[in-house]
Structure 1
Amino acid sequence: MDQLICKDLTSFKTYEGKDLPTGKWLTVSQKMINSFAEATQDFQWIHVDIAKSKKHSPFKKPIAHGFLSVSLLSKMLTDIVTVESVKMGVNYGLNKVRFPHPVPVDSRLRLHGKIEKTEPYGDNGLKITWVCTIEIENVEKPACVAEFVSLMFE
Structure 2
Amino acid sequence: MSKVIIKSYADLQAYEGQEIGVSEYHTITQEQISLFADATLDHQWIHLDAERAQTESPFGNTIAHGYLTVSLLPYLWGQIISIENLKMQVNYEIESLRFNQAVVVNSDVRLRVKLLSAKDLRGVIKAQLEVTMEIKDSRKPAFTGVITFLYHFNG
Q: Is 1:21 the counterpart of 2:21 in the alignment?
A: yes
CA contact (8 A) 2:12 2:118 kept: no
User: What secondary structure is seen at the aligned counterpart in 1 of 2:86?
Assistant: coil
Q: Figure out how many residues of one structure are paired with residues of the other and give that number.
A: 153
Deviations 1:101-132 (A, max 9, x none): 1000000001111010111133x310111000
Q: Which residue number in structure 2 is paired with residue 57 of structure 1?
A: 57
RMSD of aligned alpha carbons: 1.1
Offset at 1:2? 3.0
Amino acid at match of 2:67: F
Q: Is 1:75 the counterpart of 2:75 in the alignment?
A: yes
Spell out the pairing of 1:71-150 with structure 2 (5 A cutoff): 71-122=71-122, 124-150=123-149
Amino acid at match of 2:103: V
Gapped regions of structure 2 (runs ≥ 5): none
TM-score (norm 1): 0.95
Amino acid at match of 2:149: S
Offset at 1:9? 2.2
Q: Which residue number in structure 2 is paired with residue 46 of structure 1?
A: 46
Amino acid at match of 1:132: V
Aligned-pair identity in percent equals 35
Higher strand share: 2
Deviations 1:35-73 (A, max 9, x none): 111111111100011111112111111000111111111
Structure 1 consecutive aligned stretches of length 4 or more whose deviation exceeds 3 Å: none
TM-score (norm 2): 0.94
Cα distance in 1, alignment partners of residues 93 and 42 from structure 2: 21
